Amino acid sequence: MKNDLEQFSSAYHQIHSYIAILLCVFGVLGNSLNIFILTRKTMISTMNILLTALAVFDGLKSAVHLPYIIVIYYIHAVSHSPTGKARYIMFYAIVAMVFHTASIWLTVSLAIFRYIAVKFPLRGVTLCSKYRAKLTIFIVCVAAVGVCLPNSLSYSYVRHDKNDTSNETSWVVLMRFEMGDYTFVQRLNMWILIFIVRLLPSFLLLVLSILLIQELRGAAKSRSKLTGQCNSEKDEIIERRTETNRTTGMLVVVVVLFIVIELPHGILLLLMTISSEFWNFDIYISIYESLGDLIDDITLLNNGINFVIYCSMSKKFRDTFMEMFSCSNAKSKYTPTGIRNI
């Protein structure tokens, strides 16, 4: 198994940089479109405020990863700044984790807001107000910085002389515990990464997705009962509930994608940490290192895939997109009132 993983890792590493660059560009463009569309006047809502914040952080993750890939794979020496490459790698390791943490907990916040809105529609108007959405974004941002503080203290770059006979010098980024310092900080950072950034939000998203799916099933039963009764008032109720269910279903897809990506990653990190702390088994470390490039690319894909999900599952999003990028005579077809009452 170990040899197979090493062969796969070696083969995938050859194409990883090209795939990563494409996915970064896709993520930046897709999330830029998300932000542009979700901030239109006809699209402003509590959920879309949170989705906009999610798009900002997903876009930032892709934006900082692109130069990281270029630096790692294509810039082998920077004569005017020998430490420049190492500094950017360390900068990336710190800020990318902040963006990733904020993105994950914004997704949890989205699921909580949506569940409250569909479970308690009357109280949800107050509990899930636009002000509270903005306050939630602020709290998530501050908390993400605080949670990632041990991570920012875990890195340093050191001078590395290639050999004794050459004057060539490079700078490498190391975890501080590899230099004999900050062992406690590094361990704290690892457990935060496993539980606060990976496992806890994945567990919460799993529970919330199950609850949202139950609400969707209940709404489908209610809709089937109303379908047989034909009058304009009931037709309007059915139409309104259908759009609500579309939005909920779209969010469930976004949440499930996060679970599929983050939960296995968190479990693998947990096994790797436990084995290194107590059993000294290197099998999980070998698996993690062999699959590292693939995990990175899957995460990058998830950063940009939301635009495709929104377009495929939200008629309101599609109509707004068409209104913005269609010719002038097509714009008249998508009036603000029409968009609002889908």
pLDDT tops 60 at residue 227: no
| Spatial CB neighbours of 51, under 8 Å, sequence gap ≥ 6 | 34, 38, 110, 306
More confident call, 222 vs 226: 222
Tokens of 74: 């294509």
pLDDT at 229: 56
Structural domains of the chain, with CATH: 2-340 (1.20.1070.10)
**Does residue 208 sit in helix, strand or coil?**
helix
Start-to-end CA span in the chain (Å) = 53
CA distance 259 to 264: 8
Helix (H, G, I), strand (E, B) or coil at 162: coil
Q: What is the pLDDT of residues 303-333, one digit of tens each?
A: 999 999 999 988 889 999 998 877 544 444 4
Name, in order, each residue with C-beta under 8 angstroms of 109's C-beta and a sequence gap of 6 or more.
Answer: 50, 136, 137, 140
| pLDDT for the residue numbered 294 | 92
